[in-house]
Structure 1
Amino acid sequence: MYKSEKLAQTIRQMIENGVWKAYEKLPSLREQAQLSGYSLMTVLNAYQELEAQGLVYAKDKSGYFVAERAQPFTRKQPVQIGLNSRIQINSVVFNFLKSTQPAEIVPFGSAFPNAELLYNAKFMQILAQQAKRKSSYNNQNHMPPGNQDLRQLIANRYQLQGIPCHPNDIVITSGALEALNLSLQALTQPGDFILLQQTIFYGAWQAAERLGLQVITIPEHPQFGFDLESFEQALKQYPIKVCWLMLNAHNPIGFTVNPEIKQKIAELLYKYQVYLIEDDVYQELNYGSAKPLPVKYFDQHQKVLHCASFSKTLGMGARVGWVYAGPFSDAIQHLQLMSTLTVSPLLQNALVEFISHHHYEKHLRHLRQHLEKYKKKFYQELKARLGSICEIYYYSSGYFLWIELPEQLDGQVLYEQLIQQNIAIAPALLFRPDHASQHYIRLNCSYEWTARVENSINLLAEIILQNRKSVD
Structure 2
Amino acid sequence: MYKSEKLANSLKLLIENGTWKANEKLPSLRHQAELSGFSLITVMNAYQELEAQGLIYSKEKSGYFVVAQQPANDEQNQNVTLNAKIEINSTVFQYLKSIQPDTIIPFGTAFPNSQLLYSAKLIQTLGQLARHRLSYEQTPSLPPGNFALRKLIAQRYCMQGIQTDPSDIVITSGGLDALNLSLQAMTQAGDYILLQQTIFYGAWQAAERLGLKVITIPEHPEHGIDLNAFEQAIQKYPIKVCLLMLNCHNPIGFTVSDEIKFQLAKLLHQYEIHLIEDDVYEELHYDHKKPLSMKYFDQQNLVLHCSSFSKTLGAGFRVGWVYAGKFSEHIQHIQLMSTLSVNSFIQNALVEYLSHRHYEKHLKTLRSSLERNKKQFYAYLTEHLPPVCKIAYYPSGYFLWIELPEYIESVYIYQLLLARNISIAPSVLFNANFAKQNNFLRINCSFDFNDRIKFALSQVVECIQYAINNPSVRS
Evaluate the alpha carbon distance shift between residue 295 and residue 77 of structure 1 in structure 2; reply closer, same or farther with a 3 A threshold: closer
Structure 2 counterpart SS, 1:318: coil
- 1:471 CA drift (Å): 2.3
Distance 1:452 1:77, change over 3 A: farther
* Number of the residue aligned with 1:285: 284
Q: What TM-score does the superposition give when structure 2 sets the normalisation length?
A: 0.82
Say which SS state the counterpart of residue 388 (structure 1) adopts. Answer: coil
Contact 1:79 1:219 in 2 (8 A): no
- Measured in 2, the distance between the counterparts of 1:258 and 1:139 equals 45
Evaluate the alpha carbon distance shift between residue 122 and residue 242 of structure 1 in structure 2; reply closer, same or farther with a 3 A threshold.
same
TM-score (norm 1): 0.83
**Could you tell me how far 1:407 is from its partner in structure 2?**
1.2
Alignment match, 1:464: 464
For 1:186 and 1:339, locate their aligned partners in 2 and report how far apart those are by CA, in whole Å: 12
Q: Which runs of 4+ in 1 moved over 4 A?
A: 76-79
What amino acid maps onto 1:86 in structure 2? K
Give 3-state SS (helix, strand or coil) of 2:194's partner.
Answer: strand
Q: CA deviation at 1:181?
A: 0.3
1:121 aligns with 2:82: no
Q: Partners of 1:399 and 1:110 in 2: how far apart?
A: 11
SS in 1 for 2:82: strand
Which residue in 2 is equivalent to 1:439?
A: 439
Q: Is the 8 A contact 2:139 2:344 kept in 1?
A: no
Measured after TM superposition, the shift of residue 131 of structure 1 is: 1.2
Letter in 1 for 2:401: W
CA contact (8 A) 1:126 1:350 kept: yes
**How far, CA to CA, are the matches of 2:471 and 2:214 in structure 1?**
35
How many residues align structurally?
A: 397
1:352-408 deviation per Cα after TM superposition (whole angstroms, max 9, x unaligned): 010110000000000000000000000000000015121001000000000001111
Gaps of 5+ in 2: 1-74
3-state SS of the aligned residue for 2:92? Answer: helix
Contact 2:414 2:423 in 1 (8 A): yes
Q: Distance in 2 between matches of 1:362 and 1:283?
A: 16
* Change over 3 Å in CA distance of 1:77–1:270 after alignment to 2: closer
State the alpha-carbon separation in 2 of the partners of residues 405 and 79 from structure 1: 23
Q: Confirm whether residue 328 of structure 1 aligns to residue 341 of structure 2.
A: no
Code of the aligned partner of 2:424: I
Q: Is the CA contact 1:118–1:367 (under 8 Å) kept in the aligned structure 2?
A: yes
- Which amino acid is the alignment partner of residue 310 of structure 2? S
Shift of 1:79: 5.8
| Equivalence map 1:63-102=2 (5 Å) | 80-102=79-101
Gaps spanning 5+ residues in structure 1: where?
Answer: 1-75
Deviation at 1:77, TM superposition (A): 10
Q: Is the 8 A contact 2:107 2:444 kept in 1?
A: yes
Q: Is the 8 A contact 2:189 2:212 kept in 1?
A: yes
Q: Quote the offset at 1:139 in angstroms.
A: 6.2
> Are the counterparts in 2 of residues 193 and 241 from structure 1 also a CA contact under 8 Å?
yes
Shift of 1:213: 0.2
Aligned pair in 2 of structure 1 residues 415, 139: CA closer, same or farther (>3 Å)?
farther
Aligned to 1:157: 156
The superposition leaves residues 93-141 of structure 1 with CA deviations (integer Å, 9 ceiling, x where unpaired) of 0000000000000000000000000011110000111112222433652
Matched, 1:397 2:396: yes
Return the index of the structure with the highest Cα Rg.
2
RMSD between aligned residues: 1.4
After superposition, the C-alpha distances for 1:170-221 in whole angstroms (9 at most, x for unaligned) are 0000001000000000000000000000000000000000000000000000
Residue in 1 aligned with 2:371?
A: 372
- Kept after mapping to 2: 8 A contact 1:136/1:345: no
Q: Percent identity?
A: 59
CA contact under 8 A between 2:307 and 2:322: conserved in structure 1?
yes
